């Protein structure tokens, strides 16, 4: 009888853990979906810089519970898209010309360092990853030229993955995490330039092809120059027009 009771007890413990884990995973999925929707609207300017984000208004717009919305906003605050204040709650982060210059300058420094280390460590598999990411980006750029609004997010994601592939062999998870955060912060400016038709995709595509060629040939200085030009070509274009 004691053995049976122990087995039942273990079963109940396991079942409770399983249910709790499933609920937790479901909640994280909801938080992720809400965060993606808010990130998209911030990136496209639907939620303007410095706009106060009221939980009840967000519930009407995005659904979800107050708890899930707060978790989503907290997640976005770690990505630099939302600012949290103990007294005033959440608001969309600012997006000034100085913000753009600062983000771009940091992206250049971090990604150049990541590419430098990757050029030292990278193998054939890394080269293949870059070629695949570049192919996907080239296709996405063709599609976004044809239909900018419909394909903007897909192109932006392909561009993000291309840049991540360039530093993937740097052997520094912290550097890559910093790179991803800075790219997320730059998205609003990149998509604004796209929306206002300020991106020269012919020059961007030619430079990206040069970048990939230089990486594969291990031409260090050329690769770093092309990388910097690519970041400036998508980030600083909107600044140049102001």
Which residue carries 């070509």 as its tokens? 233
Minimum mean pLDDT among 16-20, 31-35, 158-162: which range? 16-20
Rounded to whole angstroms, the Cα distance separating 73 from 93 reads 11
- Taking the alpha carbons at both ends of the chain, their separation in whole angstroms is 80
Q: Is the pLDDT of residue 203 over 60?
A: yes
Which pTM was predicted? 0.78
Look at residue 101 in the predicted model and tell me its pLDDT: 94
Contact, 84 vs 73, CB < 8 A? Answer: yes
Contacts of 90 by beta carbon, 8 Å cutoff, 6+ apart:
52, 53, 73, 77, 82, 83, 84
* Domain ranges across the chain: 2-92, 97-240
What is the DSSP-derived secondary structure letter of residue 85? Answer: E
Task: Identify the helix (H) or strand (E) that includes residue 134.
Answer: helix 124-146
Look at residue 237 in the predicted model and tell me its pLDDT: 59
Helices then strands, counting H and E runs in the chain, come out as 10, 3
Contact, 223 vs 209, CB < 8 A? Answer: no
Rounded to whole angstroms, the Cα distance separating 43 from 47 reads 8
Look at residue 95 in the predicted model and tell me its pLDDT: 85
Rounded to whole angstroms, the Cα distance separating 141 from 76 reads 27
Q: Is the pLDDT of residue 155 over 90?
A: yes
**CATH topology (fold) of 97-240:** 1.20.120
Confidence of residue 20 (pLDDT cuts 50, 70, 90): very low
Q: Which CATH class is domain 2-92?
A: mainly alpha
Look at residue 53 in the predicted model and tell me its pLDDT: 93
Which two three-digit tokens encode residue 199? 């991106």
Q: Is the pLDDT of residue 3 over 70?
A: no
Look at residue 26 in the predicted model and tell me its pLDDT: 54
Q: What is the mean pLDDT of residues 198-218?
A: 96
DSSP 66-105: HHHHHHHHHHHHHTTSEEEETTTEEEEPP--HHHHHHHHH
Rounded to whole angstroms, the Cα distance separating 100 from 185 reads 9
Rounded to whole angstroms, the Cα distance separating 121 from 168 reads 10
Higher pLDDT, 22 or 60: 60
Query: pLDDT of 84-111, one tens digit each?
Result: 887 778 999 888 899 999 999 999 999 9
């Amino acid at each position: 009888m004691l053995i049976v009771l122990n087995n039942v007890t273990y079963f109940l413990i396991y079942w409770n853990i399983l249910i709790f884990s499933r609920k937790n995973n479901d909640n994280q999925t909801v938080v992720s979906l809400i965060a993606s929707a808010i990130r998209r609207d911030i990136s496209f300017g639907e939620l303007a810089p410095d706009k106060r984000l009221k939980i009840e208004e967000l519930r009407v717009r995005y659904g979800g519970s107050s708890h899930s919305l707060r978790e989503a906003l907290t997640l976005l605050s770690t990505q630099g898209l939302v600012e949290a204040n103990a007294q005033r709650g959440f608001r969309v982060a600012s997006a000034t010309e100085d913000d753009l210059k600062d983000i771009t300058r940091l992206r250049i420094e971090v990604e150049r360092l990541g590419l430098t280390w990757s050029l030292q460590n990278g193998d054939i598999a890394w080269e293949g990853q870059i070629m695949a990411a570049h192919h996907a980006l080239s296709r996405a750029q063709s599609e976004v030229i044809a239909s900018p609004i419909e394909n903007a997010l897909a192109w932006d994601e392909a561009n993000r993955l291309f840049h991540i592939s360039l530093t993937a062999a740097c052997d520094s998870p912290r550097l890559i995490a910093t790179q991803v955060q800075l790219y997320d912060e730059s998205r609003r400016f990149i998509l604004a330039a796209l929306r206002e038709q300020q991106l020269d995709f012919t020059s961007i595509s030619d430079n990206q092809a040069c970048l990939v060629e230089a990486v594969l040939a291990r031409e260090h200085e050329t690769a770093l120059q092309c990388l910097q030009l690519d970041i400036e070509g998508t980030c600083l274009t909107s600044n140049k027009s102001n």
